[in-house]
Structure 1
């Protein structure tokens, strides 16, 4: 399960209103008949229209400064394995998000218990994902894309009489580069904007910075870690426990749908890979044979080149370990493994 939490973008992209962001989330509805459009939902309601989302989020900003995010965006992207396990069922996804938002509320560190009834949020299912410049497949194809673009410019110059050259040979070189590009989908080089194959259901959540009473700030921002401070002479709890939230997110999914999560799919594994790769691989090597084989298959499907998982620590040389770490890290970042 890949989950990201980001603040509203300020400046020239997203201004004070939630309108631009909500309009962006409406992109899959463009050109669709009204009855086929995917509407927003909340903890207790379905079929909420976009204008209501904008109105309620924009109205819930009391005492926030111009430079404060008015809302946060949470993206919930199950992995291919998780989506397959639930049959890519949109209704199961929505039920999961409603349980997830209970854990979101419980992850705030406050003197008073925060529940999902205190949180103002709206969520929307999307069925497609496209490749972006951030995807490793696009990045690794980029040198080939640049050379192809250069050759296309040369062909155009020859046709316009601005340069000399053999157009046929230039086209042959382009065809060769298309074949040599390392990442393809259905025989075509992967480029930004191309739709991703397979199950791609994911959910965007827009959650207000203020609670439903518009009185208290509920910020999950990374700079608001759990801590205590002195306010009016009293010690007050504040912050948001992201570790608690991420761990609870996968535990909620597993419990709700009976999913058996492999070690390499866990949030714990991601933390180990980031902070202690040696322990990550030691744990990987220590898995029972069937779980180790399942881990290898998950990594292979994620595009990580693992010809074989070494049978002991001595076989895993430092250079090989760091190469594997880089590959697994890329797969995690692109949510292919889905931690």
Structure 2
């Protein structure tokens, strides 16, 4: 499970409408019949119009300045293994979102307990992802893409008569490069904008910075988990505990769907990798055989080249450690192993 929380970002200010973001999220419904379209939903309603989402979020910004984000974006991305476990069931995912939003509200540190009914949010499922320039497969295919573009430019120049050359020979070189590119999908070189194979369902959640009554601020961007300040002579509690939220969301999935989470899929593993990489790898190689085999399989699927690592923790080779550390770091950062 990979969850990201980001604030509205429009240059240096935050005065813009949520409309651009909402319209972006509508893109997947284009050219789809009504029964196949995914709608915005909230805690109690399965269908909320995009116009209502815009009006509700934009109209819920009392006393926020241009320097304050008006809304936050949460992206909840189950791993392909998690999606397969629930058969990529959209209704199950909607129920899951409604449960983790209870955990989201419970992660705020306030004088009065924050409940899900205090939160103004709208969510939407998306089932497709496309390759971006930052994807590892695109980057590793790039030398081939660059050479192919050069050859196509040569062919164009030959047609225009600015240079001479053998077009058939150049086309043959292009065909060969297309086949040699290391990353292919359905027999074609993977390029930017190409849809990714397999289960890619994820959920976008737009959350208002203000509570549902437009009275007080609820910012998940707070740098404090728990903090107390004095305001008008009174002690005021503030803060948001992200780690508590991430752990709760993971636990929700496992309990709700009976999911047997492997060590490398866990938030605990991600945290351990960031804070103490050596402990992460020592724990990895010390796992029971069956779980360790699955962990290495998941890492391999994420594109991590697994070196030969001694099973004895003490004998963990430094060079192997460094190679694996680099690969796992990339996989964790991209969320490709479901962490």
After TM superposition, the score normalised by the length of structure 1 is 0.95
Q: Does the CA contact (< 8 Å) of 2:307 and 2:320 recur in 1? A: no
Distance 1:185 1:308, change over 3 A: farther
- Determine the structure 2 residue equivalent to 1:233: 233
Structure 2 CA distance for aligned equivalents of residues 222 and 138 of structure 1: 35
Quickly say closer, same or farther: Cα 1:310–1:14, change in 2 above 3 A.
farther
Give the whole-Å Cα distance in 2 for the aligned partners of 1:15 and 1:332: 33
In structure 1, the residue matched to 2:135 is 135
- Whole-Å Cα distance in 2 between the matches of residues 12 and 34 of structure 1? 39
Kept in 1, the 8 Å contact 2:308–2:320? The answer is no
What pairs with 1:61-140 in structure 2 (closer than 5 Å)? 61-140=61-140
Deviation per CA, 1:293-325, whole angstroms, max 9, x where unpaired? 111111122121225553123553222212212
Quick one: distance in 2 between partners of 1:323 and 1:44? 48
Q: CA deviation at 1:286?
A: 1.0
Task: For residue 142 of structure 2, give the secondary structure of its aligned residue in structure 1.
Answer: helix
**Contact residue 302 and residue 336 of structure 1 kept, 8 A:** yes
Alpha-carbon distance between aligned partners in 1 of 2:315 and 2:166, rounded to the nearest angstrom: 52
Q: Map of 1:238-257 to 2, 5 A cutoff?
A: 238-257=238-257
Structure 2 residue matching 1:210: 3-state secondary structure: coil
2:200 equivalent in structure 1: 200
**8 Å Cα contact 1:277/1:325 also seen in 2:** yes
**Alpha carbons 1:10, 1:69 under 8 Å: kept:** no
Q: Quote the Cα distance in structure 2 between the aligned partners of 1:14 and 1:32.
A: 33
Using structure 2 for the length normalisation, give the TM-score: 0.95
SS in 2 for 1:248: helix
Q: In the alignment, is the contact (CA less than 8 A) between 2:309 and 2:320 conserved in 1?
A: no
Given that 1:265 and 1:337 are in contact with CA atoms closer than 8 Å, whether structure 2 keeps it comes out as yes
Residue 149 of structure 1 aligns with which residue?
A: 149
Match of 2:335 in 1: 335
SS at match of 2:10: coil
Q: Secondary structure at the match of 2:209?
A: strand
**Which residue number in structure 2 is paired with residue 56 of structure 1?**
56
CA offset digits 1:246-300 (Å, max 9, x no partner): 1111111101111010000011111121221111000001111111011111112
- Check 1:25–1:15 CA distance in 2 against 1; reply closer, same or farther (3 A cut): farther
Question: 3-state DSSP class of the match of 1:140?
Answer: helix
- For the 8 Å contact 1:296–1:309, the answer to whether it is kept is no
Question: In the aligned structure 2, how far is the partner of 1:174 from the partner of 1:55?
Answer: 51
Give the aligned CA root-mean-square deviation in angstroms. 1.8
Q: Matched residues in 1 for 2:222 and 2:328: separation? A: 24
Of the structure 1 ranges 57-66 and 228-237, higher mean CA displacement relative to structure 2 is found in 228-237
Cα deviation, 1:180-236, whole Å, max 9, x if unaligned, reads: 322221222211111111111111100100000101111111545432222223332
Q: How many residues align?
A: 339
